[in-house]
Amino acid sequence: LSARTNIIRDMVKTINEIATQTNLLALNAGIQAAHAGVYGSGFNVVANKVRNLANKVKIVTKDVHFNVENITKQVQKISTGTLQSERTVIESNSCIEQAVHEFIGIGEAAQRLDTQAKTMVEQLQGQK
């Protein structure tokens, strides 16, 4: 996901650069239309429309960039949370394994005590 957002960032940058160049071309076309006088008035209208479109593209690319940055931040938060959860699960598994080991030890000790108690009872009954 991080790689994809980087690709989108690069695409937005390229689109923004194209919009900047288009805006400059439209500005130059407007200047040339002004030099042509009355004969260039129609071309000046087209140049203004192209310039307006380029400006709209720049605005949209800023919005896209803003949203990509927000998505990136959210992905980073999710990644951090996932790593924290993974560490917690690993620690919990370790504690569970230790508890199981301790319970096995307690069970073995209880069996030994039971055996010893039975032996003592048998010995006491044999002394009577």
Res 128: pLDDT: 67
What tens digit of pLDDT does each residue of 80-111 get? 999 999 999 999 999 999 999 999 999 999 99
State percent of the chain over pLDDT 90. Answer: 78
Buried residues in 3-26 as b, exposed as e (16+ CB within 10 A): eeeeebeeebeebbeebeebbeeb
Domain ranges of the chain: 2-127
Select from 60, 59, 50 the least CA-distant residue to 22. 50
Cα–Cα distance between 65 and 12 in angstroms, integer?
Answer: 7
CATH of domain 2-127: 1.10.287.950
Q: Is the pTM of this model over 0.85?
A: no
